[in-house]
Amino acid sequence: MEKTVQKWGNSLAIRIPKSFAAETHLEYGSRIELSVVDKHLVIKPLPPDKKYHLDNLLADITDFNVHREVDFGGTEGRELL
Please report, in tens digits, the pLDDT of each residue of the chain (81 residues total): 899 999 999 999 999 999 999 999 999 999 999 999 999 999 999 988 888 899 999 999 999 999 889 998 887 888 776
Q: How far apart are CA 53 and CA 57, in angstroms?
A: 6
pTM for this predicted structure:
0.53
Would 32 be classed as within a structural domain? yes
Under the phi-then-psi rule, with left for phi > 0, alpha for psi from -120 to 50, and beta for the rest, what region is 25? left
Would 17 be classed as within a structural domain? yes
Q: Which domain holds residue 18?
A: 6-59
Would 78 be classed as within a structural domain? no
What CATH number corresponds to the domain at position 28? 2.10.260.10
